[in-house]
Structure 1
Amino acid sequence: MTTHLPHGFGVTAETLAPTELDIQVLSAQLGRKVRDVAEIPARCVCGNPLVAATAPRLSNGTPFPTVFYLAHPVITAAASRLEAEGAMYAMTDEIAADEAMAEAYRAAHENYLAERERIRVATNTGEVPEIEGISAGGMPTRVKCLHAVLGHTLSVGRGINPYGDRTLDMISEWWTPEVCHCDPAWRADAVTEA
């Protein structure tokens, strides 16, 4: 049986807080200036961010249900390939046909909501009633975004989100947690700009 990790891949309690370098690397990964990053819940073996966690209400007041935002372009591209192949449809069909899998996915939804609430409290964000009960990726009744379920698995570890775990297995041809696929320019450019 898989156990829940206290934090995602490559993360300890000490490395959850984003540094200025993390923000610069995330901006390079995403090709735009990032904002409102509360935590780095998953890191590459080299230390670069894989996932950014955002408070459930952005600084401009917008509700933001997708707390775990997949940032690494290699992982994002791999999830996009699977989405283009329609992997979500088979997963959604499985939820309808397999009660044990449906229950596991409902539990993943509850975990997502609990993690978002933890981050809301940690960031001193007020209540966000607009997104109450809404998680991400189609949870708990369908799989509509592999980026969201994979970001969840990378952030909380295996054994929580069955479809995030499966997506992680399915992208192993392009990315695995044991091998760095980062562009050295992300850090070099960030250091040069600082």
Structure 2
Amino acid sequence: MLGGESYDSRDPELIEMYHNARNLLKKYNSLESRLLEERERILTKLFHYKGAGVWIEAPFYCDYGENISIDENTFINTNCMFLDNNKIVVGKNGLIAPYVQIYTASHPLKGSERIIKSGNRVRYLTSAQPVIIGDNVWIGGNSVIFPGVTIGNNVTIGAGSVVTKNLPDNVLAYGNPCQIKGEL
């Protein structure tokens, strides 16, 4: 899965990781906001890496958690969804607005290549590519980041953008599809 090869998302090991993440997310998302130490403890257990000063508004959603690394002083607003079937790395001092979705998983476009039937069992062929987000990045609300995208340092992405390609350092970009509109 982490190597970008096709995998079965219903593999028992992945299902166990999924259940562990769901348990931690349920606790986190229902936790009283003043319980900062408990919030820190849960996020530290959930993520591969969490830097100091990371703040994540509830509710927050992800698939596994353990493929996510978030560096120091990054703020993630409410209702974000990180589908971490591969690595998601977020740099320091990031601002991620409400309803941002980061996807690492993808499927073949043709149904005949995507749907695998074996007896009574149906599987959906899935592969995943990492998403890397640099330092000092601001991602506007309701934006979607596609699998395999790398966003450079000091980038601002306008609200509602659909980021399908890499973005270099120091740019303003927005739109569907997201395009560079200027330098910062």
TM bucket normalised to smaller: under 0.3
Give the greater-gyration-radius structure (CA): 2
Q: Which has the higher strand share?
A: 2
Q: Tell me the TM-score normalised to structure 1 length.
A: 0.24
Relative contact order higher in (CA < 8 Å, ≥ 6 apart): 1
Q: Tell me the TM-score normalised to structure 2 length.
A: 0.25
